[in-house]
Structure 1
Amino acid sequence: MRLFPDLKTFLEIEIGSFHLRIAWYAILIVTGAIIAYRMSLRNAKKIGYGKELLEDYFLMMMPLAILGARVWYVIFDWASFASEPIRIFYIWEGGLAIHGGLITGIIFSYFFFRSKGVNLLRIGDCIMPNVLIAQAIGRWGNFMNQEAYGGIVNEEYFRMFPSFIKDNMYIDSAYRQPMFLIEGIGNVIGFILIITLFKRFIRKKNGDMIFAYVIWYGVIRFIVEIYRTDALYAGSLKIAQITSIVFILVGLLGLAGVFDRLFKNVYPFKKEKPVVLFDADGTLIDTQKLIFDSFRHTFATLKPEVQLTDEELLLFMGPPLYEGLAKYFDESEVDKALEVYRDFNHGRHDEYVKAVNHAKELLDYLKENGYEIGVVSSKMHWLVDKGLIQSGLADYFDVVVGREDVTHFKPNPEPLLIACKEMRVPHDNLIYVGDATSDVQAAQNMGAVSIAFVNDPRMKEALIKTKPSYMVYDLIEIIEIVKEDRTWNELVM
């Protein structure tokens, strides 16, 4: 076994008649793809998608993209393979055309994500800018194979370059422009611009990050191809420049919203009504007085020396009950405090509980207009059901998720994701309505639209600090919000 036996080879193994060479070309392409995958996985998790989705996608897409890149290259350089077709399979020698890989990857992505019920434009925004990093790394594979170079230059051209770049750019008895490096630098610059300035100041809708990628790469590649001398041709035209022009046009039309209008009833451009999930206590069901009196009773019974103000009681709203009590009671005392709290709360439940003002009117509108709606609460499931029945709201909902239905609680987005799964609806178009900071944060942690309901004016400042998508002071205001023509998610890359 030999490491780096020559410039093109990373590892060579010879055992008897067995001979294996692993080329730098392969190592660098796979490395770039893995880095892009890891970056995309991090982004996908921020919008509520687990590791399994991206793993399945990557493991199927990667070999197909390589195959597409090879086929594209062979089609437009058939003269190099016609006399010895077996060399079509020698991809370690180089010869992958990125445009062919991108087109294959896009086609596969369409069918894969559609079959999974995932918004292609939204997940694509998480993935495509990272492809620029993969391409920048992959270009070093071209360098190792002495590909992707430009015209002849003198040795002085490389005075500011490391010697290993100069030496490997000595091709066919002359120094050549390192177009692989220029394109790679352009890709890195594009990545930085897209995920910072473009995302912040220009992006308006799902898919815009994809369109920004195809525009940027189209421009960079078109410019690079002007100087490349080892390009693929169709007649007198460079294939990469033709394809780059198509990419640029597609990107510009996409940013302008042309596809949204032309294909407004076709996946992935079809706009769906949002799924609307609600917190229960303080949002749909008026339980504040019951909760406050339950805490007062608990502390009067077990810690009479602690006199809680209304402001301190407000801090209990939102987080799980155990978590709130654990701030005041030792671990050995929390279970007893829970027992005292629940005895009072459950025993007085029906005399306190009622629907929040305009809750029924809002729910009537949503049901009559075909919105999928559900409840996600940190309370025990049976107690949420009891509250909904007592307040006359139980018949509205397709699903109710309570404390015992989840492993992680708000602000973790798991309860919202479980609700969508039980409703058999995608979570790419989701609104979550709640009156606590943890409700807003749960929505934000999966890139959903958050509506903060200010049911108690004393919670206003705390809710403002969480920067919800919307703030309302009456539930009936939500009717006008759901009518808006917009993307029902937030970009959280």
Structure 2
Amino acid sequence: MNPIAFELFGIEFRWYGIFISLGIIAAFILAYYNAPKRKVDFEKLIDIFIVAFPLAIIGARGYYVLFEWNYYSQHTNEIINIRQGGLAIHGGILGAMLGAFIYTRWKKIRMMEYADLVAPSIILAQGFGRWGNFFNGEAHGDIVSKEFISKFPAFIQKGMFIDGSYYQPTFLYESIWNILVCIILVWIYRNYNRDLKGRLFFAYVILYSIGRFFIEGMRTDSLYFMGLRIAQVVSLIGIIGGIIYIAIVTYRDKKNAF
């Protein structure tokens, strides 16, 4: 697939950036419609985004570069070039959380109230973003047979035909999983009548991590550290940490109810 969507005044506009932009727009639209359900101030969310988004990009790129340092130490001029991909979602989430923490502490507002609001939006944006990987020819799995890939739509077959071989469309699996998780989170946000207190955000962490753990095992472009797939390790930490957080908050709620 051609990673360049079009050129305007000599500037290349890549599908990767377009899908990230579409994901952000979709995320804001979803948050806008969800915010009134729990009387969350959407205007403050925009303020948080202005602080958190730059740190998310820095975190996503820094995380990727860190675990690919053998390459980037020899190509330092490419460290800030994100036009062709190389953004790691785990680093992006950490950067965004840092930005949100700084802003909410400064303004003395409840961070977790906004974390719960944006949880469905974040994973919706991730679902869009994986299609940017598709056009970049990345985030795919190992070689598969023509018979296997023939079960997918023709444009997927075309995109997964790279250097003379067909590849497992793991980007598609994760995109579908992300959309399904988004639907689940939206339902919980709009139908769970008690104060969420960050439980929805950590439900997002758990559900996304479950899907990512298994899908990551099929990918051929994983980041490694000491022979381990970093995304799988972080996913396990996310699952365990999320369960512990939800258990603690739920226990405290029940204790305070008596």
Residue 11 (structure 1) aligned with residue 2 (structure 2): no
What are the residue-to-residue correspondences of 1:228-243 with 2, within 5 Å? 228-243=219-234
Query: Residues 69 and 100 of structure 1 are in contact (CA less than 8 Å); yes or no, is this contact kept in structure 2?
Result: yes
User: Match of 2:139, SS?
Assistant: coil
Relative distance call for 1:256 and 1:29 in structure 2 (3 A) is same
Q: What is the TM-score normalised by the length of structure 2?
A: 0.91
The residue identity in structure 2 corresponding to 1:130 is: S
Which residue does 2:46 correspond to in 1?
A: 55
Q: Is the 8 A contact 1:37 1:58 kept in 2?
A: no
Match for 1:232: what amino acid?
Answer: L
Asked if residue 485 in structure 1 is aligned to residue 256 in structure 2, the reply is yes
Q: Which residue of 1 aligns with 2:159?
A: 168
Q: Partner letter of residue 250 of structure 1?
A: G
Q: 2: CA distance between counterparts of 1:164 and 1:70?
A: 29
Structure showing greater relative contact order (alpha-carbon pairs closer than 8 Å, 6 or more residues apart) = 2
2:129 maps to what in 1?
138
Check conservation: 2:14, 2:83, Cα contact below 8 A.
yes
**Contact map agreement 1:253 1:259 (CA 8 A) in 2:** no
Match of 1:23 in 2: 14
TM superposition shift of 1:117:
2.5
CA-CA distance at 1:197 after TM superposition: 5.7
Q: 1:87 to 1:177 in 2, by over 3 A?
A: same
Provide Cα deviations, 1:327-368, integer angstroms capped at 9, x if missing partner.
xxxxxxxxxxxxxxxxxxxxxxxxxxxxxxxxxxxxxxxxxx
Count of residues in Structure 1 that have an aligned counterpart in Structure 2 = 256
| TM-score (normalised: structure 1) | 0.49
Counterpart in 2 of 1:253? Answer: 244
- Cα distance in 2 for partners of 1:95, 1:132 equals 18
1:117-153 Cα offsets, whole Å, 9 max, x none, are 3211222111112211100000000001011100110
Distance 1:194 1:87, change over 3 A: same
Partner in structure 1 of residue 85 of structure 2: 94
Displacement of 1:20: 1.7
Partner Cα distance (2:94, 2:209) in 1: 13
Q: Contact 1:199–1:209 at 8 Å: present in 2 too?
A: no
What is the correspondence of 1:167-206 to structure 2 with a 5 Å cutoff?
A: 167-196=158-187, 200=191, 205-206=196-197
Per the TM alignment, residue 172 of structure 1 is displaced from its structure 2 partner at its CA by 3.2
Report which of the two structures shows the higher radius of gyration computed on alpha carbons: 1
Describe the shift of the 1:180–1:8 C-alpha distance in structure 2 as closer, same or farther (beyond 3 A): same
- Tell me: CA distance 1:201–1:122, structure 2 relative to 1, closer, same or farther (3 Å): closer
Q: CA RMSD in A?
A: 2.4
Q: Note the 1:96-135 alignment, pairs <5 A.
A: 96-135=87-126
SS of equivalent residue, structure 1 residue 256:
helix
Identify the range of structure 1 (167-176 vs 190-199) with the bigger mean alpha-carbon deviation: 190-199
Question: Partner letter of residue 48 of structure 2?
Answer: Y
Point out where structure 1 has 5 or more consecutive residues left out of the alignment. Answer: 1-5, 262-270, 272-483, 487-493
Cα distance, 1:116 vs. partner?
2.2
**Which residue identity is paired with 2:143?**
I
Match of 1:394 in 2: none
- Tell me the distance in 2 between the aligned counterparts of 1:197 and 1:87: 42
Q: Distance in 1 between matches of 2:194 and 2:165?
A: 45
Cα distance between partner residues in 2 of 1:185 and 1:160: 16
Which digits, 9 at most, give the CA deviation of each residue in 1:260-319, with x for residues without a partner? 86xxxxxxxxx9xxxxxxxxxxxxxxxxxxxxxxxxxxxxxxxxxxxxxxxxxxxxxxxx
Which has more helix, going by share of residues? 2
Secondary structure at the counterpart of residue 53 of structure 1 = helix
User: Where does structure 2 lack aligned partners over 5 or more consecutive residues?
Assistant: none
Of 75, 79, 83, 2:66 maps to: 75
